[in-house]
Chain A
Amino acid sequence: MENLIALLVAAPLLGAAVLLCGGRRLDRSGHWLGTVLAAASFVIGVVLFLDMLGRSADDRALHQHLFSWIPVEGFQADIAFQLDQLSMTFVLLITGVGTLIHVYSIAYMEHDERRRRFFGYLNLFLAAMLLLVIADNYLLLYFGWEGVGLASYLLIGFWQHKPSAATAAKKAFLVNRVGDIGLSIAIMLMFTTFGTFAFGPVLSSVGETGEGTLTAIGLMLLLAACGKSAQVPLQSWLGDAMEGPTPVSALIHAATMVTAGVYLIVRSGAIFNAAPNAQLAVVVVGAVTLLFGAIVGCAKDDIKKALAGSTMSQIGYMILAAGLGPIGYVFAIMHLVTHGFFKAGLFLGAGSVMHGMNDEVDMRKYGGLRTYMPVTFVTFGLGYLAIIGFPGLSGFFSKDKIIESAFAKGGAEGWILGGVALLGAAITAFYMTRVMLMTFFGEKRWQPDAEGQPPHPHESPKSMTIPMVILAFGSVFAGGFFSIGDRFLNWLEPVTGYDHGHAPISAATVTGATVVVLLIGVFLAWAMYGRRPVPVTAPRGSLLTRAARRDLLQDDFNHVVLVRGGEHLTRSLVYVDHTLVDGVVNGTAASVGGLSGRLRKLQNGYARSYAVSMFGGTAVLIAVTLLMRAV
């Protein structure tokens, strides 16, 4: 059975190779090949899942050693896979949502002449992402990590003829590089500390290692997670990444890739458990990002960017939960899975809306679409209810658990984190309601496009709506399915461990509070956007609104601190190089040259001059000899 694991990666990898190398003769059938191979991977995943369910909880992990990658004495890197419950969860999410998005993309990308290449990239992404989650050592994980970074870069910049897309791709790649450096440093630290990269030996020998080293490794891993999962301070790329095609945003920048940071932290849980300072840093990053993303999401008029802010915020929840330690690992992953469903659904819905509205993304130019695209409206609405945590839907169960866990952290920390999480829930309700109201309700604010054609909103074809429907099912029922009887907890607990914590208030109270803040958020949004007509051009807004529209000045901050600072640093270094270093070098050369010029005069070619030197030297030697004897 474990021999099937490699096929998980091999199927989409084969698809990527064939599609990218196959040439134009695959233009007409390539998308089917890509979709079929993604589905094949999903089928394999399901087979493995069923097999896993058949074994006892302690015996569920599968291992496959494929071959030795870098066999050097004292440095063993293997291509080896490990499929446990955590990896299995990700495999199913990735292949499942991935397959749905492949299907969706067939219609969405129908008129794009580079559709074959698009599917090749998508398959490449699937292969890399699967490699990331089933790797049994950090080096192979890093390989997959870089692979998804590459796929992300290629897909964000898929419409490279648009300068904004090309720039966004570069930005994403560069910001991710910063995080990747963190991961590579963490791996190097692991190698010097433990002498290996494999998860098993590393995580089991944590107890024998000093806390300082573990904190350093943990902080580096956190940096890596920040880069990949768009957490503060490396969050700036995610909004721009929406320049890519919408299915890409749904798959990579909402459901799967951006959650790799959460996977990394949960996978390395043993390290963080032993390094409380690193864990605190994780929690802080999660809490800050949670609010940051939510605030940004409130101000954006671009539907995809509003959803991107939401993604950032929701991953903030997951990171926060992962930072809570064993209390939160399970719920981080659970929220990750449910979020994968409803966020993918929301993005696909957004894509469907854009499809019907001549690729218009500004929500101020939508309005009243619910009757024109009912399927989209319903699925999007279900996703909306799920994400705000409407009782009974997926988001309610997973987010509520995270808020409970935050309180259960105990002490002042628990109160602060719980408060932040509650506030985040309120803001989530606000901005999602805003998106919902501006898109599907109110009067029509449609504008003709650049060619003067008025939009004719229509429902998307079946291949687009079916995936949306399936995802909507997931959004509605996944949370309840996971939570009732603690199914998800029991499933993951052998891998991640679980701790109840010390909840200062009862779960029911937290749930009640969550529902209350949720209703407040919804009401505020209705009061601002539902009761009054929405202006087509955005009002100037308050200072906070304007800042949030500019992503809370993240790019300005980066520009001032990093770009300008870097320029100044470079300039001063160049100055130092020109004056000090060159001065020393040139001065040495000049002094040597000058000295040589003087010394050259001694070399006048006259034998008698040389004889004088010899004679004088002899005299000095005699003097020295005499002095030595005298002493």
Chain B
Amino acid sequence: MTGLTTLTTLAANTTSTGEAVQFWILGTVAVIGALCTVLMKRAVHSALCLAATMIILAVFYLANGAYFLGVVQIVVYTGAIMMLFLFVVMLVGVTAADSLKETLKGQRWLAALCGLGFGVLLITGIANASLKNFNGLGAANTAHGGNIEGIAALLFTKYVFAFEITGALLITAAVGAMVLTHRERTERARTQRELAEQRVREGRQLPPLPAPGVYARHNAVDIAGLLPDGTPSELTVSRTLRERGQIRDVSTQALEDLKALERRSEDRLGREGHGGPALPGDRNDSGRDGNDSGRDRGGSGHDQDDCGHDQNDSGRDRDEEEAHR
């Protein structure tokens, strides 16, 4: 408690050197975080950068004597709101990266110009304002026995109506969110029999879908099962993953990994055997190995590309058919 009071007085009356150091370091980080929020390609990264900025802001709140707000900032913003953001990002697709290419002509320049002008004006305004004399929060924070008590006293007296109205607002928002996201079933859910009959009618995949590929070293749902000719079958992977393009293709990698393993064991066992003529090829294989895995990790893009090709092809086919007609 005593520590808190000293902190209070400190925060209220002066800006200590410690606070200055803290401001400059954390302030820089906060700006970088904000910039990253804007510039990161993936929404997840943006969200994380924003969370970092918010935490730094929480620290600043504390430094300014707003202890309650500092804690609330961490709990509500970083804890609740940013998690909500992350949920939605997951829902929408965590790996889906934005293309930062601007589509609206001149939008980026205009935005930069407006931002620059706005910022300059804002900062000029602040610089011109007469903000030289500070009262400090010491008296205010101690008047009711502490920051939280002070806020409570204000909140439940002077701002009680606003407080109640925000309560109503929150309830409305919760109901509104439910209304927006809840989908009323407008028709009866189809029974299993009807689904089966539909499948028969449409003549598509009558038996149950095949299971994903299971290998000795891989047991995951994102690895496609292989068809008899060795190519992976997308049918075996869950539709969600398929749509996100998160299928891992290990049809060739597994075999190559096996080969590489055998060769390494041979090497270790003392270079005996028949590896001579196969060596250069094997080396090449291992080289390609790395490439492949690299490709796999960022494979979503490629898969999307493939998808795009397919669509293009099908589109071309349709065009040709129409031409034939």
- Chain A residues within CB distance 8 Å of chain B: 604, 606, 608-609, 612, 615-616, 618-619, 622-623, 626, 629
Contact = CB atoms under 8 A, between A and B. Distances in A.
A427 B124 CA distance: 103
Q: In which size bucket is the chain B interface? A: 10 to 19
A608 B104 CA distance: 9
Contact of B110 (A616, A618, A622): A616
B124 A609 contact: no
A105 to B, nearest CB: 93
A626 B122 CA distance: 10
A629 to B, nearest CB: 8
Contacts of A626: 121, 124-125, 128
Contacts of A612: 107, 110-111, 114
Contacts of B114: 612, 615-616, 619
Contact of B104 (A606, A616, A618, A623): A606
A52 B138 CA distance: 119
Given A606-B104, A612-B110, A619 B118 contact: yes
A606 B107 CA distance: 10
Nearest to A612: B110
Interface in B99-149: 104, 107, 110-111, 114-115, 117-118, 121-122, 124-125, 128
Contacts of B128: 626, 629
B131 to A, nearest CB: 15
A609 B125 contact: no
Report the 5 A-B pairs with minimum CB-CB distance, sorted nearest first.
Answer: A619-B118, A616-B114, A622-B121, A615-B114, A619-B117
Nearest to A611: B111
12 contacts: A604-B104, A606-B104, A612-B107, A612-B110, A612-B111, A612-B114, A615-B111, A615-B114, A622-B122, A622-B125, A623-B121, A629-B128
A615 B107 contact: no
A258 to B, nearest CB: 84
Nearest to A604: B104
B121 A609 contact: no
Contacts of A629: 128
A615 B111 CA distance: 8
Nearest to B118: A619
A615 B121 CA distance: 13
A594 B115 CA distance: 31
Interface string B45-66: 0000000000000000000000
Contacts of B104: 604, 606, 608-609
A257 B52 CA distance: 109
Nearest to B102: A608
Contacts of B124: 626
Nearest to B128: A626
Interface in B65-119: 104, 107, 110-111, 114-115, 117-118
A604 to B, nearest CB: 8
Given A626-B124, A626-B128, A608 B118 contact: no
Contacts of A609: 104, 107
A608 B117 contact: no
Contacts of A608: 104, 107
A118 B121 CA distance: 95
Given A622-B118, A626-B124, 19 more contacts: A604-B104, A606-B104, A608-B104, A608-B107, A609-B104, A612-B107, A612-B110, A612-B111, A615-B111, A615-B114, A615-B118, A616-B110, A619-B117, A619-B118, A619-B121, A622-B121, A622-B122, A622-B125, A626-B128
A30 to B, nearest CB: 89
Contacts of B111: 612, 615
A606 B104 CA distance: 8
Nearest to A622: B121
Contacts of A622: 118, 121-122, 125
A606 B118 CA distance: 22
Contacts of A604: 104
Contacts of A616: 110, 114, 117
A618 B118 contact: yes
A629 B129 CA distance: 11
Contacts of A618: 118
A441 B122 CA distance: 117
Contacts of A606: 104
Nearest to B103: A606
A392 to B, nearest CB: 109
A622 B110 CA distance: 17
A622 B128 CA distance: 13
A603 to B, nearest CB: 13
B138 to A, nearest CB: 32
Interface in B159-182: none
Q: Which has the most chain B C-beta neighbours within 10 Å: A606, A609, A615, A619? A: A619
B221 to A, nearest CB: 38
A375 B110 CA distance: 110
A615 B117 CA distance: 10
A338 to B, nearest CB: 98
B155 to A, nearest CB: 30
Q: Which has the most chain A C-beta neighbours within 10 Å: B114, B118, B122, B128? A: B114
A242 B124 CA distance: 97
A619 B125 CA distance: 12
A612 B110 CA distance: 7
A486 B118 CA distance: 106
Nearest to B129: A629
A620 B104 CA distance: 23
